[in-house]
A and B are shown apart, each in its own frame.
Chain A
C-alpha cells in the first residue's frame, strides 16, 4: 500500500516549521507551545482503559472511529510529552485507519526528536505509536 499523501504533507509542514529554529531550545519551546493545541480527552475518559502504559508521565489517548476515519483525543501531565502527542495527533487525526496503521512517521526523527522514540525514555511516545497502530489495524480488520 502506498503512503498517504495527506499524512506525508502534514509531516512536511511540521518539519518546515521546526526548521525555522536553529537551536534545540527553540524547538523544544515550540513543541511545548504546540501541546496547547492538542484536542484534550475529557476527564471522564482519564481511566486505566485509555492510559498508555510504560510512561513516566501520565498519558491518556482515546481513539474514536467515525465514518471510516479515526480521530484522537489525548492528554499528559508532562508538557514535552503533550507536545509530542499533539504532533502525532496533528499528523494522524481524521485519516483512514489503513493509512494510520502503516504511516512510517519519519518526521519525529526529522525534527530532531528521535531520542523520544527510545523505549528507555519511558515517555510513552513509542508505546503510544504502537497503541495507535494497533488500534488502526484492528478497525481496518473490522472494516
Chain B
C-alpha cells in the first residue's frame, strides 16, 4: 500500500509511513524490531518491491539491444528512470547520470578515468572523516600516478577545520573529494562553501552524497559540484545500484572506465570507438531492475515530501541527542552543529561490540565498529563506536527503546 500525498507543510505521519515498509514489522529475538542501522542500508517501501517484481514479471529484457517489444519496454523503463533521477538532482541533462553499482564504484570510476591524467606532484584533497571508499581509490590512484594525498583534519566536534581546508587547497590540488554527510558522525559539511572556494582556484569537486540523499534531495546545479556519487540502497531503493552524476563537458572529456558491450560505437581488431554519454560508462548489461527500483524509491520520497522529512528528522536528531547523552556515562562522538540523525556513541569503557550484542538481544539494530572510517576513529583515539542511524520512519518511541537498551547494557556490562 502506498502513502497518500502529504502536503509539504504538514507534519509527517510516521505511523502511517511505517506501514509502507514491510521489513520494519517483525520481531528480533522476541522483541519488536527497532531498526537503527539506516546509514548501513535502509528498508524498502512496498512500492519499490512491487516495482521490481512488476519489472521481472512483465518487462524483463535486455536494454538498448533488441528490436522486440519487451526490449523496448525495458529500455523505456530504464531510460525513464534516468530522466526521473536526473530531474530529482536537477541535472541539466539525463546524460549526466551514469548508473554504477554504488557510491564505491562511482568514486572508483572518477579516480580511474579522471585521475588518468594526473602527474607526479598533483594532489588529491580529501578529509579525515571520509569513508574508506572515498580514501582507498585515491590512495591507489596516488600510488599509480605518483600523486600526493592531502587530508583535511577535523575538530573534536567532528567538523572540518575550515582554515586547514583553505590552507591545503592550492593550484596543485587536482580534485577535492569530500563527503556531504559523514556516515560515522552524522556531520553535514559546508559543501556549498567548499565547492565555491575550490572553484575559485579552478579545482573540481567530487561529493560523496551517499549519506545525504536519504535525508533530503540535492540540487547539483545549485551546488555546482562537478561529480556527485550516491547509492540506491541507502535511500530506500534496492542494493547493487548507484549513481555517478558528472557535468557533461567533464564526462565527455574522460576516457572510458570499463570496456565491454554497450559502451562501444564500433569494434574491430584494429581499434574501437566508444559510445556517447551516458552509455560510454555503462559497460555490460546494467542492473536494470535496480535502476527501475531506484526510480520507484525517488518517486516515493517525492511523494512523502522532502520538506516534511527534513523538519521531522531535525526534531528526531535533537530528541535522540538529548535522550542518549543524558544517560550517565554515555559520550556522543560527533557533536557538529549541523547533523543528520546519526548517533555514534560510547558507553563508559564498555566495548562497542558488547554494547551492540546486548542491544541486538533487545531487538535493537545498531552498527558497531569503525564504520569503514578507521582514520577517523584513529583521530578520536577510539577503536570504534556503537552507531544508531535513523531514518524518517523511526519514531521517538524507538529512541526511548534505544535509551532503555543502553541502560540495560550498562547494568549488565559495567563492572
A contact residues vs B (CB 8 Å cutoff): 24-25, 28-29, 32, 56-58, 77-81, 122-123
> A32 near B413 (CB under 8 angstroms)?
yes
> B354 near A80 (CB under 8 angstroms)?
yes
Most chain B Cβ neighbours within 10 Å, of A32, A56, A81, A122: A56
Closest CB-CB distance, A8 to chain B, in whole Å? 28
- Give every chain A residue within 8 A of B18 (Cβ-Cβ): none
Any chain A CB within 8 A of the CB of B351?
yes
> B361 near A56 (CB under 8 angstroms)?
no
Question: Whole-angstrom distance between the alpha carbons of A80 and B358 in the complex?
Answer: 9
- Give every chain B residue within 8 A of A79 (Cβ-Cβ): 351, 354, 413, 415
- Give every chain A residue within 8 A of B353 (Cβ-Cβ): 56-57, 78, 80-81, 122-123
- Give every chain B residue within 8 A of A28 (Cβ-Cβ): 357-358, 361, 412
Question: Whole-angstrom distance between the alpha carbons of A46 and B375 in the complex?
Answer: 22
Partner of A77, one of B351, B357, B412: B351
State the majority secondary structure of interface residues on B: helix
Any chain A CB within 8 A of the CB of B369?
yes
B contact residues vs A (CB 8 Å cutoff): 29, 351-354, 357-358, 361, 368-369, 383-384, 408, 412-413, 415
- Give every chain A residue within 8 A of B361 (Cβ-Cβ): 24-25, 28
> A56 near B412 (CB under 8 angstroms)?
no
Partner of B351, one of A24, A25, A57, A122: A57
* CB closest chain-A residue, reference B369: A56
- Give every chain A residue within 8 A of B358 (Cβ-Cβ): 28
Question: Whole-angstrom distance between the alpha carbons of A29 and B414 in the complex?
Answer: 11
A56 in contact with B384 given A78-B354, A123-B353 (CB within 8 Å): yes
Number of A-B contacts (CB under 8 A): 41
> A78 near B351 (CB under 8 angstroms)?
yes
- Give every chain B residue within 8 A of A57 (Cβ-Cβ): 351, 353-354, 383
- Give every chain A residue within 8 A of B29 (Cβ-Cβ): 24
Closest CB-CB distance, B357 to chain A, in whole Å? 5
Closest CB-CB distance, A121 to chain B, in whole Å? 8
Question: Whole-angstrom distance between the alpha carbons of A122 and B384 in the complex?
Answer: 13
Closest CB-CB distance, A53 to chain B, in whole Å? 14
Pick the 6 closest A-B CB pairs, nearest first. Answer: A78-B351, A78-B353, A56-B353, A56-B369, A57-B353, A80-B354
- Give every chain A residue within 8 A of B415 (Cβ-Cβ): 79
> B412 near A29 (CB under 8 angstroms)?
yes
Question: Whole-angstrom distance between the alpha carbons of A70 and B412 in the complex?
Answer: 33
Question: Whole-angstrom distance between the alpha carbons of A122 and B354 in the complex?
Answer: 12
> A80 near B384 (CB under 8 angstroms)?
no
> A25 near B412 (CB under 8 angstroms)?
yes
* CB closest chain-B residue, reference A78: B351
Closest CB-CB distance, B249 to chain A, in whole Å? 44
* CB closest chain-B residue, reference A76: B351
* CB closest chain-A residue, reference B361: A24
- Give every chain B residue within 8 A of A77 (Cβ-Cβ): 351, 383
Question: Whole-angstrom distance between the alpha carbons of A40 and B408 in the complex?
Answer: 28
- Give every chain B residue within 8 A of A58 (Cβ-Cβ): 383
A56 in contact with B413 given A24-B29, A28-B361, A122-B369 (CB within 8 Å): no
Question: Whole-angstrom distance between the alpha carbons of A80 and B415 in the complex?
Answer: 13
Closest CB-CB distance, A14 to chain B, in whole Å? 19
> B384 near A32 (CB under 8 angstroms)?
no
> A56 near B352 (CB under 8 angstroms)?
yes
* CB closest chain-B residue, reference A33: B415
* CB closest chain-B residue, reference A29: B412
Closest CB-CB distance, A34 to chain B, in whole Å? 13
Closest CB-CB distance, A58 to chain B, in whole Å? 8
Closest CB-CB distance, B32 to chain A, in whole Å? 16
A80 in contact with B357 given A24-B29, A32-B412, A122-B369 (CB within 8 Å): yes
